[in-house]
Structure 1
Amino acid sequence: MANAIITGEQNVDFISDLIGKMREEGLDRVEAELEAQAKWMSHVAEVAEASLYREAHKANAWYTGRNVSGKR
């Protein structure tokens, strides 16, 4: 989990820069290569494993849904 305001700003900055680069180069789309996607997913899993998020299912928290009756 992260501070949504900060991560939101980082996402906006990235997308803005990407759109600017695309305009400069006359591109109308971008697509991640399969190898890059796999590397990113591996990195995300590694970071999550090293955090408390792997224990999130035990929390009675809104973001896991455990506080909602009947939800798993």
Structure 2
Amino acid sequence: MANAIITGEQNVDFISDLIGKMREEGLDRVEAELEAQAKWMSHVAEVAEASLYREAHKANAWYTGRNVPGKR
């Protein structure tokens, strides 16, 4: 899990930089290659496994949905 405000700011910075780079290079779209997507997903899983997120299913929290009766 992350601080949503900081994560949001990082995402805005990334997208802004990406759009700027696209304008500089005259591009109108970008697409991640399948290999890059797979590497990113592997990295995300690795980081999550090393954090408390792997225990999140035990928490009675909104972000896991466990606080909603009948929801899994």
Q: For structure 2, which runs of at least 5 residues remain unmatched after alignment? A: none
Write the distance in 2 (CA, Å) between the matches of 1:69 and 1:40: 34
Corresponding residue number in structure 2 for 1:29? 29
- Give structure 1 regions of 4+ aligned residues with deviation exceeding 4 angstroms: none
The normalised TM-score by structure 2 is: 0.96
Q: For structure 1, which runs of at least 5 residues remain unmatched after alignment? A: none
- CA offsets 1:3-30 (integer angstroms, 9 cap, x no match): 0110100100000010011011110000
The normalised TM-score by structure 1 is: 0.96
Corresponding residue number in structure 2 for 1:7? 7
Write the distance in 2 (CA, Å) between the matches of 1:43 and 1:28: 28
% identical aligned pairs: 99
Matches of residues 46-65 of structure 1 in structure 2 within 5 Å?
46-65=46-65
CA RMSD after TM alignment: 0.6
Q: Number of paired residues?
A: 72
